[in-house]
Amino acid sequence: MNLNIPKSGKELYAQLSNAFFGQTVIDMRLCVVLTLALYFGTILIGNYTPYNLFWYSLGIPIAPTLFTDLRDVLVAMECTRRGFDILAADPCIPTAAMSPNYPRLWMALAPLGLGGRDTEWLGITLSVLFFLCVLWMAGKLNFGGAVVYSLAVASPSVMLAIERNNVDVVLFILVCAALGLLVYFPQRTGRAISYSIVFLTALLKLFPIFASAVLLRERKKIALGGLIAMAAAFTAYAVSIFGDLQRIDARVLRSQGLAFGRTIIPEILTNSDLFRRLFGFVLQPSQATGLSIIGMGGILMLAYLLAARTQREFAKGEPANFPLDAFRIGAAIYMGAFAMGNHIDYRLIFTLFTLPLLVRWTKYDSRWRTGSILGLVGLISTLYLSRWSLTEDAIIVAPKYFIPDEIINWGLLGYFTYVLLVTLPEWSKQIIFPRNAKRIS
């Protein structure tokens, strides 16, 4: 019997990696489906326990009713049909917590007659479509990929989005549809419709404008023209609804726990009792904000310098394909949302768009395997660490979870920036890395 015993740690790592991430005969997406079946089967069992208590045991800080965020949108549609202004002080909205925090463009669906009574069936439909999108994006999986996707879909951050059925779920499905058009209808018309859908998501919730990074798949003139046109139209739209945006911003609920973004640490430095006890003072909001901007700038600069030194090793770059398109969307949305400020963790569902590329890089003995594994570990970790930071002042109540979560969030910012830079098409590398372009030429 010939036993292939590894003679070094490097050989052991290679054998384990091939066993875990190598090709399999069976499509292991079946494991992801079974994971979802087990998860929701457990929830059915939980019907015999108090609703709040059971969801909290799964790491989900639920609202009083299922699909509450979707219900709020549907109730707002009812109010719109009755002639009320949903962004004003409105007696039609039952509670302040239900006050809309999204552009009124959503109310264009009001004539369809949807209302609060449609919450359950519509919420289930959207949830099923969401998971179908994830399974479609995953493609055929090996064992390692199945583990990654199973952990991701069952994570507290993803299930929070499903339990609330936030409008982010709708946006995720729309972006997935846009990617589908690029795959199945790659001609000019299909691509134009795809980019139009991406722009529609930006009009519906603003932050998906960063998904326009998918235009980098095009030739230089088309990509730059599309990005400039989309930016100009989006700016004009934002200016036209500036008053609504101010009302929306005032209604957005923000917390330190169960959230990510550049402003989390400034909020701690200005409000946390722990910081005051340790140092005897707290920073002014402007000082803390300045420090966070400097910190973010430092991480982006570090990623840029590292990419400038290593991008020549990837001179050919990644060819335009679905995994790369999806990664650019997911990474750009994460980076843009992070820079904008404080976001509830259900917005991390958009990082699922980065999984197809990262999982693909683990399948082969490629130059990306180690880095992609580290990225996947960080991403899955932050999807779960929010489970233990459900309180408003998480830095005091759960510092051993909150602090690593913040470190990972900032690390993902640098990681996504680096991967985006080194996988840019050649025409954009010549713009962003001009000195390196001169050396190559």
Give the global pTM. Answer: 0.88
Query: In this model, does residue 1 exceed pLDDT 60?
Result: no
What pLDDT band is residue 130 in, cutting at 50, 70 and 90? Answer: very high
DSSP state of 318: P
CA distance 213 to 202: 12
CB atoms within 10 A of CB 203: 17
* Residue 375, pLDDT score: 93
pLDDT 10s digits, 138-153: 988 888 889 999 999 9
Is the pLDDT score of 68 beyond 60?
yes
**Mean pLDDT in the chain?**
82
**121: pLDDT strictly greater than 60:** yes
Return the bridge partners of 343, or none. 260
∠ CA(402), CA(404), CA(406), 5° rounding? 70
Helix (H) or strand (E) holding 358: helix 355-363
What is the distance between the alpha carbons of residues 201 and 437, in angstroms, rounded to a whole number?
35
Residue 262 predicted with pLDDT over 90: no
Is the predicted pLDDT of residue 190 greater than 80, yes or no?
A: yes
Predicted local distance difference test score (pLDDT) of residue 401: 63
Average pLDDT over residues 80-102: 71
Taking only the tens place, the pLDDT of each residue in 290-343 is: 888 898 999 999 999 999 888 776 655 555 689 999 999 999 999 999 998 888
Predicted local confidence at residue 413, as pLDDT: 96
Question: Would you state the pLDDT for residue 394?
Answer: 47
For residue 27, the SS3 value is coil
Does residue 385 surpass a pLDDT of 80? yes
Structure-model confidence comparison of residues 427 and 275, the more confident one: 427
pLDDT digits (tens, 9 = 90+) for 196-227: 999 999 999 999 999 999 999 999 999 999 99
DSSP SS3 for 83: coil
Placement of tokens 């713009």 in the chain: 431
Residue 287 binned pLDDT confidence (cut-offs 50, 70, 90):
confident
In the chain, what percentage of residues exceed pLDDT 90?
Answer: 41
Q: Which residues contact 249 (CB under 8 A, 6 or more apart)?
A: none
pLDDT attached to residue 380: 94
Which one has a higher pLDDT value, 65 or 131? 131
Residue 44 or residue 235, greater confidence: 235
DSSP H or E run through 245: helix 242-251
Domain ranges of the chain: 30-440
Q: Considering just the CA atoms, what is the radius of gyration of the chain in Å?
A: 23
- Would the pLDDT of 159 be above 80? yes
C-alpha–C-alpha distance, residues 212 and 222, integer Å: 13
- What pLDDT score was predicted for residue 395? 43
Q: How far apart are the first and last CA of the chain?
A: 55
Q: Which of 119-133, 227-241, 388-402 has the lowest mean pLDDT?
A: 388-402
Confidence of residue 54 (pLDDT cuts 50, 70, 90): low
Split at pLDDT 50, 70, 90, the class of 261 is confident
Give the residue among 204, 249, 419 at the shortest CA–CA distance from 332: 419
Confidence of residue 246 (pLDDT cuts 50, 70, 90): confident
Mean pLDDT within 430-435: 82
Residue 440: the pLDDT is 45
393 — pLDDT class (breaks 50, 70, 90): very low
Residue that the structure tokens 């999986």 belong to: 141
Angle between helices 143-153 and 29-45 (to 10 degrees): 30
